[in-house]
Amino acid sequence: MAWISYAQNREDVLLRRALGDAPPGFWVDIGACDPVKLSITKHFYDLGWRGINVDASPKMYDLLVAGRPRDINLNVGVSNKRGRMTFFRAIADAHGGDASGLSTFVAEEVAVHRANGFVFEEIETPVVTLADICAEHVEGPISFMSVDVEGHEREVLEGGDFRKYRPRIVIVESTRPKSEEATHHRWEHILLSADYLFGVFDGLNRYYVRAEDQALIERMQVPPNVFDDFLPWEYQSQIEELEAEVRMLRASQRVMSAASDLAKWVGRQAETARDRLRVVRNRQR
């Protein structure tokens, strides 16, 4: 039976293939955003996994708290040192649509997006390091880690301790926001120097595997395909919306049919009453 893939670029398909024979595990998701839409971790949460979801946006944090009660949800920024930073929360695109995936700490990226009509609000937010988060909340092995922070990847990775905390797989968004321009040259050395091996590039992200799990690389070499037996969430959600619409139309049809039957009955009663009135009048003559 097909399963639902929620991730934007089918990251959960490759992760499921690589880690599917393992028991429910634990993740760290930096830049988690929505708990369902485009989520790398939603599929695993539904399977009983749990993890740490970090997002600097108060709106996304509220959604995570509501949608992920088993998880550790943190409303902070992540960088290479503790302190406070300006977080640019993307409110809308040029047409008023959702743009939350472009929220960032990088002012240069915000300037480009604003020139294209995107709307941002500025929020002063506390910032911690990745090592801080792991030290406080990680109690065992980390199955995978995702870093999706719209241009702030190097600072996030610089603040980690990949010798002490060793996710089996690290996924890092490796192109500049809304472009195909590669950015991994800015931060890849941090992972490679900590005995991580490059696994695969999916057009958006680069996957790294710790040296002790090198065998996982082979499982990710083939792109998501029909043999992974998955259904994209965006298609499934459209199917569910259409099914709900069909149910509503059928219910309306039943109401209209019942109303039509009632109208016919009322018409018959009215005709009977007119016939009786004519009889009474004839008798009075």
Question: Residue ranges per domain, the chain?
Answer: 3-228, 231-285
pLDDT at 17 over 70: yes
Mean pLDDT along residues 131-153: 97
Closest of 126, 129, 191, 137 to residue 156, by C-alpha: 129
Closest of 42, 53, 13 to residue 145, by C-alpha: 53
Tens-place pLDDT, residues 99-139:
888 999 999 999 999 999 999 999 999 999 999 999 999 99
pLDDT at 277 over 70: no
pLDDT at 244 over 90: no
Contacts of range 63-71, beta carbons closer than 8 Å, 24 or more positions apart: 63/34, 63/35, 64/32, 64/35, 66/35, 67/35, 67/36, 68/35, 70/45, 71/45
Q: What is the pTM of this model?
A: 0.84
pLDDT of residue 59: 94
The sign of the dihedral angle between the CA atoms of 147, 150, 153, 155 is negative
pLDDT category of residue 274 using cuts at 50, 70 and 90: confident
* Mean predicted lDDT score pLDDT of the chain: 92
pLDDT of residue 119: 93
Mean pLDDT along residues 64-93: 96
pLDDT category of residue 257 using cuts at 50, 70 and 90: confident
pLDDT category of residue 21 using cuts at 50, 70 and 90: confident
Tens-place pLDDT, residues 199-241:
999 999 999 999 999 999 999 999 999 999 999 998 877 766 6
- 8 Å CB contact between 158 and 130: no
pLDDT of residue 269: 79
pLDDT at 46 over 80: yes
Q: Is the CATH code 2.40.370 the one for domain 3-228?
A: no
pLDDT of residue 2: 87
pLDDT of residue 282: 73
Q: Which residues touch 237 (CB under 8 Å, ≥6 apart)?
A: none
pLDDT of residue 265: 82
pLDDT of residue 253: 79
Whole-number percent of the chain with pLDDT over 70: 95
- 8 Å CB contact between 147 and 173: yes
